[in-house]
Structure 1
Amino acid sequence: MPVIAMTQEMGSLAKDVSLRLAESLGLAVMRHEAIERVADRAQVSTSLIGRLRDGKAGLVERLTTDKRSVALYTAEELFALADRGNVVLRGWGATCLLRPVPHVVCVRVTRSFKKRVEWLMGHLGTDDVEFAEAELRRSDQAHASRMNDQFGVTWGDPVLYDLVLNTDRLSVESCVEQISLLASRPEFAETPESRAMLADMALEARVRAALKEHPATRDINITINARQGQVALRGIVLDAEERSQTEDVAAAVAGVQSVDNQLRLMTSSRLFASSKQT
């Protein structure tokens, strides 16, 4: 069940490659419905998410939006789609989130800035070069900032990808052929171990999202490790009630078979803030 994670770079033709790849291999793609679910759970509009991703959100929007919630729900959605298999996931940090899974192919599709400017001008029907260049720089900066903030990586670092394709030199069809060939290689064959790893990561994402959604646990910052339905909780909480509530919320998540509650209690309520998200 191929899982292909791709970058999203405005004007790179990555969208064309992903759609043609999905059609060629009979794969699903991450549709707008998934983004709508993320927006609904984070209680924001899909347009706001788009502005945040493209670096177009205003100062008030950036300061008031709970970006951690958006990131958590996005990760949950991505892991759920990847866990089902037979899918192409473009953007949303998919290459970083899924890179640890051996059978996931991580691809960057890129293009020269000049060609991307030409693409955007044609796409918008404008001859304003400065405007197109500014839009691309804003988009690139937003992507780079988000990748660094969420994953601590440098956007575009070739080491993050299994394959880097330059559409200045390669056609969309050639890109599809190269990705298909790599996905069929033994190195990217799904194994029981890689399948279990992805399932564990998907379960961890579901538990994190559930804790964030519950009023009693939404501010708790703990470590969650899942292995074949067994979930271990590690970290510090305020008191015994918070410890119990966290275990209850985790235990109620679909796929959790048991909870190993290793949460420790604060020795003083004055340290309360250190156990909470900032």
Structure 2
Amino acid sequence: MAVITLSRDICSKGALIAEEVARELNYECISRKILMEASDQFNIPEVQFAKAIHDGPSVFEKIFHGKEKYIAFFQAALLNHVKKNNVVYHGLGGQFFLKGIPHVLKTRVIMGMDARAEEKAREENISKTSARRLLAKDDKERYNWGMHVYGVNTGSNDLYDLVLHLDHLTVSDCVSLICKTAQSNTFCPTPESQAHMADLALAARIKATLIANYANIGITSSNGRVSIHVNELVDNPAGTKQKIQDCMAHISGIESLSIHVKSNLIRSPFHNSSPSMRHSA
């Protein structure tokens, strides 16, 4: 009953492996479906959503947090979908979005550039040189995405429990190894790991609800005890807290709520002084 994430580069047979693993384990296999669900839920055109999620950030977006809201929407949709378990996800960012959950098996499939270029050239009926150029561009965008969102190269082996190299293994080998590992006790869900998944899903949903109005916001949840930190100065802290409380009213799973807001008001030297001292010469 594990969740499996499979990271792969374009034309590395990763999608095929994910589908075969899901078939072998009788799991649901998802990728683009999460993008469609997030697009529907947050009323954003799928093409626009896909570009925002996939492409590396522009200078403008780095300054004004243009991508963060799309990433928050996507993470909320992904966590909501996979919290039921028995899922193979082979889309973007699974190793990041589901990080720290014990029953999530994070795998990566890699293949040499020459083999990938041959696959790409055959798929699109283009030269191997053109295929290599397109793949290099896509790899760079994925690298930029990972560095911008998490400050980590998506190709780093440290992010994964299992890394499989298709220059040395067959597709069948990879499927067998992933299935065997996923069925081990190490990746069996426990009440604690399920609770952790639920907390991450709740925090992601809250962030997706608030991020349009508060770009710099942090949310944590522990067994439904939610803490929200607005990490930007606001003119009306009390009003901001009330607005956030109102937004939380329709979100289920919150057992308790604490909200922390920074005031933008400049306190005078006499703010905490007694009335008589304020009026003294």
Root mean square deviation of aligned Cα: 2.7
Partners of 2:195 and 2:151 in 1: CA distance: 26
- Select the residue among 198, 219, 228 that pairs with 2:214: 219
Secondary structure at the residue paired with 2:34?
A: helix
Q: Decide whether the 8 Å contact of 2:65 with 2:215 is kept in 1.
A: no
Tell me the CA shift for residue 225 of structure 1. Answer: 1.2
- Corresponding position of 1:230: 225
Question: Given the alignment of the two structures, is residue 105 of structure 1 paired with residue 100 of structure 2, yes or no?
Answer: no
| Percent identity between the two aligned chains | 25
Q: Decide whether the 8 Å contact of 2:31 with 2:89 is kept in 1.
A: no
- Corresponding position of 1:86: 86
Residues 149, 118 of structure 1: alpha-carbon distance in 2 compared, 3 angstrom cutoff: same
Partners of 1:55 and 1:206 in 2: CA distance: 23
Q: Which structure would you say has the larger Rg?
A: 2
Residues 182, 102 of structure 1: alpha-carbon distance in 2 compared, 3 angstrom cutoff: same
Q: Decide whether the 8 Å contact of 2:142 with 2:154 is kept in 1.
A: yes
Question: Given the alignment of the two structures, is residue 190 of structure 1 paired with residue 189 of structure 2, yes or no?
Answer: yes
Tell me the CA shift for residue 247 of structure 1. Answer: 2.2
Between 1:162-171 and 1:28-37, the stretch displaced more is 28-37
Partners of 1:263 and 1:220 in 2: CA distance: 13
- Select the residue among 241, 254, 264 that pairs with 1:243: 241
Q: Decide whether the 8 Å contact of 1:55 with 1:141 is kept in 2.
A: no
Q: Decide whether the 8 Å contact of 1:103 with 1:194 is kept in 2.
A: yes
Residues 254, 98 of structure 1: alpha-carbon distance in 2 compared, 3 angstrom cutoff: same
Partners of 1:235 and 1:60 in 2: CA distance: 22
- Corresponding position of 1:179: 178
Partners of 1:268 and 1:55 in 2: CA distance: 40
Tell me the CA shift for residue 258 of structure 1. Answer: 2.3
Tell me the CA shift for residue 41 of structure 1. Answer: 4.8
In structure 2, what residue type is equivalent to 1:266? Answer: N
Alignment of 1:36-55 (within 5 A): 36-41=36-41, 43-52=43-52, 55=55
**May I ask how many residue pairs the two structures share in their alignment?**
264
Alignment of 1:27-66 (within 5 A): 27-41=27-41, 43-52=43-52, 55=55, 66=66
- Corresponding position of 2:12: 12
- Corresponding position of 2:273: none
- Corresponding position of 2:121: 121
Between 1:156-165 and 1:45-54, the stretch displaced more is 45-54
In structure 2, what residue type is equivalent to 1:32? Answer: R
Structure 1, unmatched stretches of 5+, are 270-278
State the TM-score, normalizing by the size of structure 1: 0.86
Tell me the CA shift for residue 61 of structure 1. Answer: 10
Q: Decide whether the 8 Å contact of 2:225 with 2:254 is kept in 1.
A: yes
Partners of 2:57 and 2:194 in 1: CA distance: 38
Alignment of 1:145-156 (within 5 A): 145-156=144-155
Residues 121, 52 of structure 1: alpha-carbon distance in 2 compared, 3 angstrom cutoff: farther
Residues 266, 234 of structure 1: alpha-carbon distance in 2 compared, 3 angstrom cutoff: same
Tell me the CA shift for residue 8 of structure 1. Answer: 3.0
Deviations 1:19-43 (A, max 9, x none): 1111110111225343123234555
Residues 56, 154 of structure 1: alpha-carbon distance in 2 compared, 3 angstrom cutoff: closer
Residues 116, 65 of structure 1: alpha-carbon distance in 2 compared, 3 angstrom cutoff: farther
Q: Decide whether the 8 Å contact of 1:106 with 1:163 is kept in 2.
A: yes
Partners of 2:203 and 2:191 in 1: CA distance: 18
Q: Decide whether the 8 Å contact of 1:53 with 1:143 is kept in 2.
A: no
Tell me the CA shift for residue 211 of structure 1. Answer: 1.1
Structure 2, unmatched stretches of 5+, are 268-281
Structure 1 segments of 4 or more deviating over 6 A? 56-65
State the TM-score, normalizing by the size of structure 2: 0.85
Between 1:6-15 and 1:23-32, the stretch displaced more is 23-32
